[in-house]
Amino acid sequence: MGQSGGCTAAINSSLVGVVEEALRHGEIEGVLGTLHGVEGLLRGELVDLAAESAETLQRIRRTPSAALGSCRHKLQEGDLERIVDILRANNVRYFLYIGGNDSADTSHRVAQTAVAEGYDLRVISVPKTIDNDLPITDHCPGYGSIARFVAQSTRDAGMDTEAMKRYDPVKIIEVMGRNAGWVAASSALGKSNPLDAPHLIYLPESVFSVDRFLEDVARVHREVGYVVVVLSETVRDQSGQVVGNEKPCFVDPFGHGYYDSPAAYLSRVVTRELGLRARYDKPGTIQRMSMALASETDLEEAHLLGRRAVQLAVEGHGDEMVILVRQPGPTYRCLVDSTPLANVANVEKRMPAEFISEGGSFVTRAFIEYATPLIGGPLLPYARLAKEPL
């Protein structure tokens, strides 16, 4: 097994689920981990996970980041054949890979290559992405925890901005989300009345207009007295450019661009055009792996998917991804199923229209109902003084 892509608070819970379940099956003679995903596998960097103590595994389950090390390796010519050769040499019959969109594609291609080479290999992908953009599954492990972090942090930033509104009346918070707005949308999960942050949310699914943004900020400032804005890191204008950027400052091996902060740019625009002092927060990678704000629901589901992935492999399944299927009814419950990797690889699930408010500057009640169960319980209870005048 291996881990790949951006690390999360829940990715190790899936790893432990795999190891624990594998050790329960007598037909499995060993449990090998590849360091830094397929990159380490290509180098033959394998470790014995069965040798780890039960105590270590239990602590790893609640340890953030990727315990085996992660990677963003784009497969090169000859890599797939070499991967199958290395797996064959170690008599590996089940290959489980934890990751997001690109990892699902890697898993699918490994499975296809094994079939082409006549090697009996069962490949199961275990979903992991804070972007929540994998199709078919109701949601992705990693998302519930970053959603809790963003919701709680937005509330905290809102309380600060409310107190400092005479000096710093505008706060812009920029969060992760490559092409989908699930993370930014989660900031609304801590809002219980109109005063609470966030007041405005901007997602990649909607075209961003600087002029309309300034109008929105000015309106909220008149109505509330301060403004907290949450936006995805890749909000784009009508021409398709990330706001405040002409081109990416970095492009990873998969062609994903990374950009200078739209929030920093928009803070300057607000101050210049509206005369309101604006500050911005950009939490960075801490948002995707904060164990202090991890969702218990997220950790449990990640562990469950890891266990089920092993069971499916042993039962004869291959070239599939384990998924979560939400059950109807007033009480939140998900069952575990699977789907062919061909349905997942290189497919991106964006926020549906029914989750985005008219005008594109907030989310709907339907989104709140979808996402609230995923953050694992209520946030910290806050209050405001009545402030009765003398």
Residues serving a catalytic function are 131
- CB-based burial label for 238 (10 Å; 0-12, 13-18, 19+): exposed
d(CA 194, CA 13): 37
Count CB atoms within 10 A of the CB of residue 187: 28
Is residue 157 within 8 Å of residue 281, measured between CB atoms? yes
Q: Are 317 and 323 in contact (CB under 8 A)?
A: no
User: How many whole angstroms separate alpha carbon 338 and alpha carbon 28?
Assistant: 21
Beta bridge partners of 229: 172, 200
**Helix H or strand E encompassing 98:** strand 94-99
Q: Which amino acid is at 277?
A: R
- Structure token digits, residue 200: 């405005």
Q: What distance in Å separates the CA atoms of residue 78 and residue 188, rounded to the nearest whole number?
A: 46
The DSSP call for residue 73 is P
* CA triple 230-232-238, angle to 5 deg: 110
Spatial neighbors of 48 by CB under 8 A, at least 6 apart, are 30, 31, 32, 33
| Antiparallel, parallel or unpaired: β 257-258 and 250-251 | antiparallel
| Rounded (5°) CA angle 248-251-254 | 140
Residue 75 DSSP class: P
Alpha helices in the chain, H assignment, sequence order: 11-22, 37-42, 54-61, 79-89, 101-116, 143-163, 182-185, 210-224, 262-274, 286-289, 296-314, 365-371
